[in-house]
């Protein structure tokens, strides 16, 4: 996973504040932010039987506002097994998701914890 792309995502998402009442609204806000910042992305990219929320240059980006650590870990692990995926980023509002492993199937995993967003 490109460190510069990860840093760009961390800075872009970390500095934004979102208003949402559902995960879909948060995803819409992120899509608007990516578009405004000129970040090319695919939304709802099919990865085998799964669909990842965003896909940018080999990075699968999943957005979560709920879910247990074990459920989210299993989901991200499935993404990491796909040959098109070079890394995984979890964008979350839950502190418990910060305990995500740093590697899955030898691919880097990064967690971006959104602070200050309104649910």
How far apart, in Å, do the first and last CA atoms of the chain sit? 30
Which CATH code, of 1.10.10, 3.40.50, 3.40.1350, 1.10.3470, is assigned to 3-113? 3.40.1350
How far is residue 104's CA from residue 86's CA, in Å, rounded to a whole number?
10
Q: Reduced to 3 states, what is the DSSP secondary structure of residue 114?
A: coil
91 or 118, higher pLDDT: 91
Q: Rounded to the nearest 5°, which phi and psi values hold at 97?
A: -75, -10
Q: For the sheet containing 42-47, what is the strand order?
A: 42-47, 50-56, 59-64, 87-92, 107-113, 103-104
Whole-structure pTM value: 0.92
Sequence spans of domains, the chain: 3-113
What is the pairing mode between strands 59-64 and 50-56?
A: antiparallel
Q: What is the pLDDT of residues 66-98, one digit of tens each?
A: 999 999 999 999 999 999 999 999 999 888 898
């Amino acid at each position: 996973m490109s460190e510069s792309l990860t840093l760009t995502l961390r800075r872009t998402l970390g500095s934004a504040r979102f208003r949402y009442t559902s995960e879909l609204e948060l995803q819409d806000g992120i899509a608007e932010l990516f578009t405004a910042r000129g970040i090319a992305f695919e939304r709802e990219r099919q990865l085998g039987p799964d669909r990842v929320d965003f896909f940018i240059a080999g990075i699968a980006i999943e957005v979560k506002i709920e879910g247990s650590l074990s459920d989210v870990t299993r989901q991200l692990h499935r993404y990491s097994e796909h040959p098109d995926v070079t890394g995984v980023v979890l964008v979350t509002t839950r502190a418990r998701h910060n305990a995500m492993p740093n590697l899955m199937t030898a691919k880097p995993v990064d967690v971006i914890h959104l602070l200050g967003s309104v649910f």
